[in-house]
Amino acid sequence: MIFFHEAKKLFHLQGDSYSYFMQVRNGILTHLYWGSRLPDEDVSALIPEVQAYASFDNEYNRLTFEVPTQEKGYYAQRALNVLNHDGDDVLSLRYVSHEIFHGKKALTGLPSAYAEDDADTLVITLEDPLTHVRVHLNYTVYTGFDVLCRSLQVENAGEKDIELKNVQEASVFLPKGEYDILHLKGSHCRERNALRSQLPRGFFSLDSRRGASGHENNPFLAVLEHNADETRGQVYAMTHVYSGSFRLSTDVSIDDRVSMMIGMHPDVFSWHLAPGESFQSPEALLVYSGEGLGGMSQRFHRFIRKRICRGYWRDLPRPILVNNWEATYFGFNEEKLLAIAEKGAKIGCELFVMDDGWFGKRDSDNCSLGDWVVDKKKLPGGLKPLGEKLNALGMRFGIWFEPEMISPDSDLYRAHPDWCLHVDGRERTEARQQLILDMGRKEVQDYLIDALSKVLESANITYVKWDMNRNMTEGFSCVLPSERRMESQHRYMLGLYRVLDEITSRFPEVLFESCSGGGGRFDCGMLYYMPQTWTSDDTDAFERIGIQWGTSMVYPASAMGAHVSVVPNHQTMRITPFETRCNVALGGNFGFELDLSKLSDEDTEKAKAAVRTVKELRTVLQQGTFSRLIDPTRHDNLASWQFVSEDEKQVVVCLYQRRVKPNMQPERVYLQNLIPDARYRNQETGETYSGAALMHIGLNVPSTWTDYDSWVFRFERV
Decide: 162 and 83 in contact? Cβ < 8 Å.
Answer: yes
Query: CB–CB of 162/84 below 8 Å?
Result: yes
Least CB distance to ligand GLA at residue 465 (A): 6
Query: By CB under 6 A, is residue 517 in contact with ligand GLA?
Result: yes
Considering beta carbons, is residue 365 or 411 the nearer one to ligand GLA? Answer: 365
The residue at minimum Cβ distance from ligand GLA is 356
263 binds ligand GLA (CB under 6 A): no
The full DSSP string for 488-517 is HHHHHHHHHHHHHHHHHHHSTTSEEEE-BT
Residue 566 to residues 86, 272, 371, 538, 631, Cα–Cα distance (Å): 63, 52, 31, 12, 26
Compute CA distances 178 → 63, 76, 199, whole Å.
Answer: 21, 20, 8
Q: Give yes or no: 120 in active site.
A: no
- Chain centroid offset of residue 463 CA: 20
Q: Which is nearer to ligand GLA, 430 or 483 (CB)?
A: 430
Among 95, 300, 534, 549, binds ligand GLA (CB under 6 A): 534
355 binds ligand GLA (CB under 6 A): yes
Q: Is 356 one of the binding residues for ligand GLA (CB under 6 A)?
A: yes
Q: Does 518 bind ligand GLA (CB under 6 A)?
A: yes
* Shortest separation between residue 593's beta carbon and ligand GLA, angstroms: 8
Beta carbon nearer to ligand GLA, 501 or 595: 595
Stretch that binds ligand GLA, among 233-241, 303-311, 510-518, 674-682 (CB under 6 A): 510-518
Binding of residue 711 to ligand GLA (CB under 6 A)? no
- When asked if residue 303 is in the footprint of ligand GLA (CB under 6 A), the reply is no
Phi, psi of 24 (to 5 degrees): -85, 115
Q: Cβ of residue 520: shortest distance to ligand GLA, in angstroms? A: 8
CB of 365 to ligand GLA, least distance (A): 6
**Site map (CB under 6 A) of ligand GLA, residues 322-351, x = contact:** ---x--------------------------
Give the count of beta carbons closer than 10 Å to the beta carbon of residue 555: 32
Catalytic residue among 355, 467, 523, 709: 467
Residue of 300, 400, 507, 656 interacting with ligand GLA (CB under 6 A): 400
List CB contacts of 336: < 8 A, sequence separation 6 or more: 324, 328
Q: Which is nearer to ligand GLA, 535 or 622 (CB)?
A: 535
CB of 469 to ligand GLA, least distance (A): 5
Q: Is 315 a catalytic residue?
A: no
Segment lying near ligand GLA (by CB under 6 A), choices 20-28, 61-69, 98-106, 515-523: 515-523
Site string for ligand GLA, 202-241 (x = CB under 6 A): ----------------------------------------
Among 467, 487, 540, 631, binds ligand GLA (CB under 6 A): 467
Please report the beta strands in 532-624, taking only residues with DSSP state E, as ranges in sequence order: 532-534, 560-565, 589-593
469 is an interface residue for ligand GLA by CB under 6 A: yes
| Identity of the residue, 307 or 396, whose beta carbon is nearer to ligand GLA in the bound complex | 396
Choice between 293 and 367, CB closer to ligand GLA: 367
Nearer to ligand GLA, 404 or 537 (CB): 537
What whole-number distance in Å separates Cα of residue 17 and Cα of residue 291?
A: 10
537 near ligand GLA (CB under 6 A): yes
Q: How far is the CB of 329 from ligand GLA (least distance, A)?
A: 8
How many angstroms separate the CA atoms of 531 and 38, rounded? 34
635, 380 contact by CB (below 8 A): no
φ, ψ for residue 334 (rounded to 5)?
-60, -40
Instruction: Considering only the C-alpha atoms of the chain, give the largest distance between any 2 of them, rounded to a whole number of Å.
Output: 82
Piece of the chain touching ligand GLA by CB under 6 A; list 48-56, 421-429, 501-509, 511-519: 511-519
Q: For the residues of 182-212, what is the DSSP string, one character each?
A: EEEE--TTS--EEEEEEPPSEEEEEEE-SSS
Q: In angstroms, what is the minimal distance from the CB of 521 to ligand GLA?
A: 10
What CA–CA distance (Å, rounded) separates 615 from 349? 10
Instruction: Confirm or reject binding of residue 142 to ligand GLA (CB under 6 A).
Output: no
Instruction: List Cα–Cα distances, 715 to 330, 491, 626, 701, in angstroms.
Output: 43, 50, 15, 16
Residues 50 to 69 in contact with ligand GLA, rule: CB under 6 A: none
Packing angle, helices 334-347 and 601-623, rounded to 10: 70
Q: Which of 304/369 has CB closer to ligand GLA?
A: 369
Instruction: Give the helix/strand (H/E) hosting 171.
Output: strand 162-174
**Residue 222: alpha-carbon gap to chain centroid:** 14
CA–CA gap between residue 184 and residue 214 (Å, rounded): 11
Q: Is 579 in the site for ligand GLA (CB under 6 A)?
A: no
Q: How far is the CB of 43 from ligand GLA (least distance, A)?
A: 50
Element (H, E) at 446: helix 442-458
Per rule CB under 6 A, is residue 543 in the interface with ligand GLA? no
In the complex, minimum distance from the CB of residue 515 to ligand GLA, in angstroms, rounded to a whole number = 5
User: Smaller CB distance to ligand GLA: residue 162 or 515?
Assistant: 515
Least CB distance to ligand GLA at residue 272 (A): 36
Q: Which residues pair with 196 in a beta bridge?
A: 182
Q: Alpha-carbon distance 216 to 384, whole Å?
A: 39
Burial (CB count <10 Å: 0-12, 13-18, 19+), residue 423: middle
Name 172's bridge partners: 260
CB of 484 to ligand GLA, least distance (A): 32
Catalytic residue among 537, 538, 631, 709: 537
77-85, 514-522, 547-555, 675-683 -> range binding ligand GLA (CB under 6 A): 514-522
Residue 526 per-residue DSSP state: H
Selected from 67, 284, 437, 515, the binder of ligand GLA by CB under 6 A is: 515
Q: Give the integer Cα–Cα distance in Å for 561 and 353.
A: 13
Q: Choose one: 290-298, 346-354, 513-521, 617-625; the region binding ligand GLA (CB under 6 A).
A: 513-521
What DSSP designation does 519 have?
Answer: B
Q: Which C-beta is closer to ligand GLA: that of 70 or that of 328?
A: 328
Residues in contact with ligand GLA by the rule CB under 6 A: 325, 355-356, 365, 400, 467, 469, 515, 517-518, 534, 537
Catalytic residues: 467, 537
